Amino acid sequence: MCKYITIHSTVNFDGFSSVKDLVKKAKENNMKAVGITDHGTFAGAISMLNACRAEGIKPILGMEAYLARDHNCHSKDGQPDGRRGNRHLNLIAKNMKGFENICQLSHAASINGYYYDPRVDYELLDKYKEGIICTSACLSNVVNHLLSVDDYERAKKAVGIFKSIFGADYYMEMMNHGITAELRILPLIQKLAKEMDVKVIATNDCHYPEKTDAEFQEILMCMSSGKDIKDPNRLKFPYDEFYFKSPEEMYKLFNHIPSVMKNTMEIADKCDYSDFILGGNMRLPKFDIPEKFSSPYDYLKYLAFSGLKIRGLDNEPHVKRLTRELDDIKLIWDTKKYDFATYFLIVDEIMNFARENKIASGIRGSGYGSVLLQALGVTDGVDPLVQDLLWERFLGFDDKMFVCEADFGIGDEHILHAEVANSDADATEVMFR
């Protein structure tokens, strides 16, 4: 029997399952892969990736996007039927490029496209299509909606648009939750897919882990919409079929069309996140530095000592402390390739932008222990030397990142001391001297 994949939504009070619940259910059912497509956001992807890797299950990372005619139009003029014009669409990352492009789409949808929902449009989809699989989602998708209102020709045109953008990475979905409208368009989906040479996959809208959790999902939806559970007009699912179905249950629904189960697994096979490295590497935006500086570190050092002088702190104690902080940053780059120099330059640019645009800003916590941040102007008003604040408290590493002095022949002035608070501690506090 083909082991299908489940795609799930967990945000916007739309999904009762947690990421851990989802992966746990997949593990119990001996499933090869499990996915997540949160409504309008890609925020759950990393949690999903970590949870699946811990259980040895292949993650499928996606987003259920809201499709608008024009994502820049923030009125009913761009959507004749208002909010209902924001049609659903599943976007799944095949690889790192697809992951980055869905992040771009999510960003554009929230920053520029927000009108009731974070929205994208065809132009954005075409711009960021590389590395993305697109599927037709539920009844709220533009294709399925047009089929449900007997507008077959416009549905066919919509499929043509999606296929022109995504090619063989566009799939049509078949769902069966017992809803009359779903059952009525199932043969139309098959007909249209055959005419347009598009593969069909079997899916199930999954909003809660067990069938018995349907009542809790109802309460969650009331919270989302501000309705009373006794309100007959509240938003609700018509049946309690939106749970995590087992492969056997899915087979019973679609055994008369075995190809749709196999096609679902094709999506899992297309996804490859083997080059996704979490922890140990820093993935930072490219930061352009002036040509006269050979590296981000050299530029950071220049800004730091210039800032120290501007702020009247170019005395021996502050210069000595700043030198040590910069030496630690260089040491971590030389030994572990952690690019904190670029990180600090990015933070400095963000804070400068905030000040120039009169945006209230600041940092909290152990960052005030850094003379470097004070010299850059990121922190203000607190002198770490006067307050006896530790730089080591800010730039700390756990035991997995600890660098032994013997490995690199580090001199006495840069000996790394490790202190473990107790024998049960999971982390080691690394202090640079």
Report the CATH number at residue 202.
3.20.20.140
On whether both 246 and 329 belong to a single domain, the answer is no
**Does the residue 275 lie in any domain?**
no
On whether both 243 and 166 belong to a single domain, the answer is yes
**Does the residue 281 lie in any domain?**
no
On whether both 74 and 195 belong to a single domain, the answer is yes
On whether both 237 and 151 belong to a single domain, the answer is yes
Show the 3-state SS of the chain. Answer: CCCCCEEECCCCCCCCCCHHHHHHHHHHCCCCEEEEEEECCCCCHHHHHHHHHHHCCEEEEEEEEEECCCCCCCCCCCCCCHHHHCEEEEEEECCHHHHHHHHHHHHHHHHCCCECECEECHHHHHHCCCCEEEECCCCCCHHHHHHHCCCHHHHHHHHHHHHHHHHHHEEEEECCCCCHHHHHHHHHHHHHHHHHCCEEEECCCECECCHHHHHHHHHHHHHHHCCCCCCCCCCCCCCCCCECCCHHHHHHHHCCCHHHHHHHHHHHHHCCCCCCCCCCCCCCCCCCCCCCCCCHHHHHHHHHHHHHHHCCCCCHHHHHHHHHHHHHHHHHHHHHCCCHHHHHHHHHHHHHHHHHCCCCCCCCHHHHHCHHHHHHCCCCCCCCCCCCCCHHHHCCCCHHHCCCHHHHCCCHHHCEEEECCCCCCCCCEEEEC
On whether both 204 and 139 belong to a single domain, the answer is yes
**Does the residue 287 lie in any domain?**
no
- Identify the pLDDT of residue 238: 65
On whether both 173 and 264 belong to a single domain, the answer is yes
On whether both 355 and 231 belong to a single domain, the answer is no
- Identify the pLDDT of residue 78: 65
- Identify the pLDDT of residue 269: 93
- Identify the pLDDT of residue 73: 85
On whether both 180 and 215 belong to a single domain, the answer is yes
**Does the residue 149 lie in any domain?**
yes
On whether both 235 and 111 belong to a single domain, the answer is yes
- Identify the pLDDT of residue 315: 95
**Does the residue 289 lie in any domain?**
no
The whole-number mean pLDDT for each consecutive block of 10 residues of the chain, a chain of 433 residues, reads: 42 62 86 87 88 91 91 76 76 95 94 90 96 91 90 94 96 85 89 94 79 68 70 67 79 84 89 77 83 96 96 94 95 88 95 92 87 93 90 66 37 33 30 27
**Does the residue 76 lie in any domain?**
yes
On whether both 53 and 199 belong to a single domain, the answer is yes
**Does the residue 249 lie in any domain?**
yes
**Does the residue 279 lie in any domain?**
no
- Identify the pLDDT of residue 85: 67
What is the tally of structural domains in the chain? 2
On whether both 126 and 185 belong to a single domain, the answer is yes
- Domain of 408, in residue numbers: 296-432
